[in-house]
Amino acid sequence: MTYMWPSYHSLTELDNLGQQYELYLYKEGRQSLSNSRDALAFASGPPVLFLHGSDGSYKQVRSLASETARPSEASGKPALAWFAADFKEEMSAFDGAILERQTIFVVDCVKWLRQHYRQTYAADMPVVLVGHSMGGLVARAAAIALASEAGSSQYFLSLPHHL
């Protein structure tokens, strides 16, 4: 049986992007964190951005994040820092304009995460994009948009490349 203690923290620092979407930090554990700045202080491991599919929820990150936290706890190494985009359960499978908006938001999120890690940890950390279903298409489009930046790599496993 798997036990989880999920905690989601909205990162209000991204409000200035003027987007209708939100970025969340997922934190596994029982500690109580009062605000997003406190939560970000615990996000020292490599950043992973989860993108849910059409009509999905950012809370779907829970299973992946919870399971990847266990080996880190046992080894004492920093856990992956899981972030999740909240696309407000939009039906992106039926509208290319929605996919474009989501891609722009994800590109902004990746740039913000890279800047945050540079300022906080003086490290150039690559951001791993994990997309489920249509979120995989958004991840692919964002990776292509970011391909010209240093340190970008692209790997795709089982996502719908063609509509």
Q: Is 10 a catalytic residue?
A: no
Please measure the distance between the N-terminal and C-terminal CA atoms of the chain and give it in whole angstroms.
Answer: 37
Specify the amino acid at residue 25: L
Angle CA 121–122–126, to nearest 5: 85
- What sign results for the dihedral spanned by CA atoms 66, 67, 69, 74? positive
DSSP 78: P
Q: Quick one: which H or E segment has residue 27?
A: strand 22-28
Q: Find where tokens 């059409």 sit.
A: 54
> Which of 44, 57, 133, 152 is an active site residue?
133
Enter the tokens of residue 42: 């615990």
Contact (CB, 8 A) for 138 and 131:
yes
Greatest Cα pair distance in the chain:
44
User: Known catalytic residues?
Assistant: 133
